[in-house]
Structure 1
């Protein structure tokens, strides 16, 4: 009897200790509400199962938030639906109204004036309801003229608006096409180029519908969007010429990494010219030196550590309604059914910054995101038959800030002698000043024509000092051995908040393209 009592007391004490020591969970700060989701093919039901009517496959490929507490969603089969009741908590009485149909793989949706705009495979289209019955009766071509060869990978994405009100689209490269040749400088003598017109380019739309080519070198630019300053960015996905997922600042005349986009370099209107040789099989910093037109991404997303297939870009412009990250970018993640967060800064006039894990556990691959009128985030899901984590094949979810602030690294800024970290809550001064609380290393990637790249030229870095600000919100890390054009991977597992909590996500990945001079 005594032994049983002792065992019982031991079990109770262990349970109490586990409850006290329980690490914070993402759900404590950002909870998911399922609006509609189908079960995955291998499951008949799941806790996220909430079917659409009449077997509608809600494979969301675009989201536009409307002003009347509804959202419009484009779906892969070529339709646009208006959903009501989506802000209800829980959303028990969602309504569905088909607005448009017979579209060709729309991969974006934008509300502008009295119309919805979507990019189909071969054109940018304006959808308008002229008689007020909530069904589009005008399908108007806004812009067209990019090439379509019939290759299944020739996706077209958008539109999105920049800060000046211009419409932008991005165009996927066609994979495995062969044609004219461009000389390489390493290993292989020529590069075969055969692409449809402007494939792998970012395009701006003129007021008269003119296609204006801006920048080139994209592989699979699934996400695009503006930051708080109104500058346009796109995400790319790992593949040939693309070492790992990346975020790029789109501006005129810039070449990024996918060499086959240069098939359109000599077309009328191209702002890029004179590229005759492409480095191949060299470290990325060396490639930048050899090819002056090649511009590094603002942010690299280290493979698997920060996603495997980046998608949409969403700016948090809710002024705090979505938590402590106002003004930052959120990036969708396909394979891991997740989302990352990006902080950007300008150094010597160019963007660079850090990415952080943000939220896992979506019901399927995250393809599209849009911020609701209340600051919450609508998340469009579809795994498109490809592999992704999650309990559903497709659907629409809503991510809601609970009002509780997580202990996170909010910003990571470059300094001439290291980095400055800004936290969402004051830190425990003892752990934050202890250099053993941090680990830092740097690495880069190969620039080459084959698929992806391992991390190369790895180097562990020394942190001689960590200085905590008077308010406890900032820590200055002095770092020996900073390297330009390298990713600097920080882990801060030893640090605690002033109330003794560990970081919700202790990892940060800073792409240090330039070391500040002051």
Structure 2
């Protein structure tokens, strides 16, 4: 064989092998995931997690403790005990925390600085409880003005209500004596349960986000939630809440929540001032004028089944992600998820992209927080459902090739990468669809439509890919698969499937 020809073939073969190796690269080439050794005497189900100002972590665990973990000394100390299903924690100042329990929001204080709580103060417990197992409480999160926000789950017709309840019983609900007959479960399942809505709110403010001001004044802030398991603020101080697929919720959403919003689940309307129609009689047409569309949608079974807490990203130099976006977990999927916002004329919408994932991450990623050194700490829980246990630490090894922003234009999408793109992708697959809004549990994808791009172009920097479309449809979830895109340095694109929830079309052309 000619020497020059052999050399050319060898170079081509090596290039192909290098390209194949890069395409097959996974997240662990870019991020390290460490499972923290967990002492046997500490409950490994983490319901709440916050990175403290001094570098330690405060965790709430399902057995009812607040535990302090010091990553430097690898020591664990119980700070407080005796709590009831604590699913969230915030550090107010050294030695003082806010914890949401199932029955109340509690301030827990170490007054003598001995490392143990000695004062438990009820901050807020003026919400209803019927004893139903599904009446969880989530949060807390605190805004820059000191207002505290918590979210209250609705109840499930898998149970009814108990004999003694806290708070008023709604006259719009089925009769209380009927709802108390669930203890004979086989009889309940075959009998009266069939007349009860899948989820219900028979005690005050189930299905609401509540705001507690620094002076103690409580405001019913927003309604329409089913199981709002995740809450967080973005860099602009805006509140974001995740919810879970179920009745009236075709697939799990992410909501940007402002005061007075209705997110779509009607059970909470029993506690809306002036509302007179029972949940059991409500139809979608009653709700559409009230309902605020979700900013993002997680296709059920693909991207997420039960999305959890949103956390804002930190400095790009520390973790490799642009500031201004958020990270979320999920109870059933072994990856994290990025949310890239794209507000159009005051309407919140944006893109969800899979992030770090795999067996080392696992499932049950319920609560997360960044420490000041750039580590992402992840707490796991399962509570008798799908999920996991333990504590993970995720740190950046090197920055991957990824999409930094997805912005909507009049003629299509502008997709910006963090490194120059080697070439236009061979194929870009695009579909859009919607979901039913109905009382049934969940929804299949509705009206799945294939879209052929009219044109693909790169700008001079090769970082911006423009996908021109002949038309754009509102109230549709666009799925854009970029395939095996690589950077000019041969790095594979990590997170190739983009899901943009288009609520409103852009008015300006690109």
TM over 0.5, shorter chain: yes
Whether contact under 8 Å (2:79, 2:115) holds in the other structure is: yes
Q: Distance in 1 between matches of 2:150 and 2:132?
A: 19
Alpha-carbon distance change, 275 to 163 in structure 1, aligned in 2, over 3 angstroms: farther
Tell me the residue number matched to 2:320: 323
Counterpart residue number, 1:420: 414
Structure having the higher strand fraction is 1
Residue-by-residue CA offset, 1:156-179 (whole Å, 9 max, x unaligned):
011112243321111111112597
The verdict on how the C-alpha distance between 1:101 and 1:485 changes in structure 2, with shifts beyond 3 A counting, is same
2:424 to 431, 441, 449: 431
Question: Which runs of 5 or more residues in structure 1 are unaligned?
Answer: 1-12, 36-49, 183-187, 281-286
Give the equivalent residue in structure 1 for 2:26: 25
Give secondary structure in 1 for the equivalent of 2:267: helix
TM-score by length of 2: 0.85
Q: 1:294 to 1:381 in 2, by over 3 A?
A: same
| 2:253 maps to 1:246 | yes
Per-residue Cα deviation, 1:222-276 (whole angstroms, up to 9, x for no partner): 1000011000010001111111111001111111111111111138xxxx89999
1:310 maps onto 2:307 in alignment: yes
* 1:320 alignment partner, SS class: helix
Q: What is residue 185 of structure 2 aligned with on the other side?
A: none
Q: Does 1:401 align with 2:408?
A: no
Q: Does the aligned pair in 2 maintain the 1:279–1:291 contact within 8 Å?
A: no
Matched, 1:508 2:498: yes
How far off its partner does 1:155 sit?
Answer: 0.6
State how 1:53-452 maps to structure 2 within 5 Å. 53-54=40-41, 56-84=42-70, 86=71, 88=72, 94-114=74-94, 115-176=96-157, 181=172, 194-266=201-273, 278-280=282-284, 291-361=288-358, 362-388=361-387, 393-402=388-397, 404-428=398-422, 430-432=423-425, 436-452=426-442
Shift of 1:181: 4.9
- Deviation (angstroms), 1:191: 6.7
Contact 1:180–1:194 (8 Å) recurs in 2: no
SS in 1 for 2:317: coil
In 2: Cα distance, 1:314 partner to 1:273 partner:
37
Check the 8 A contact 1:214/1:253 in 2, yes or no.
yes
Distance 1:319-1:409 versus aligned 2 partners, 3 A rule: closer
What's the counterpart of residue 284 of structure 1? none
Determine if contact 1:162/1:225 at 8 Å carries over to the other structure.
no
Q: Deviations over 1:38-75 (max 9, x none)?
A: xxxxxxxxxxxx34143x22211111212222111100
Say what the alpha-carbon RMSD is for the aligned residues: 2.6
Contact 1:491 / 1:506 at 8 angstroms: preserved in 2? yes
Separation in 1, partners of 2:18, 2:401: 18
Deviates more, 1:173-182 or 1:416-425: 173-182
Q: Following TM superposition, by how much is the alpha carbon of 1:482 offset from its aligned partner in structure 2, in angstroms?
A: 1.3
Partner SS for 2:78: strand
Q: Does the CA-based 8 Å contact 1:410-1:424 persist in structure 2?
A: yes
Q: Measure, in 1, the Cα distance between the counterparts of 2:18 and 2:343.
A: 43
> How far is 1:414 from its partner?
0.9
| 8 A contact 2:335–2:362 mirrored in 1 | no
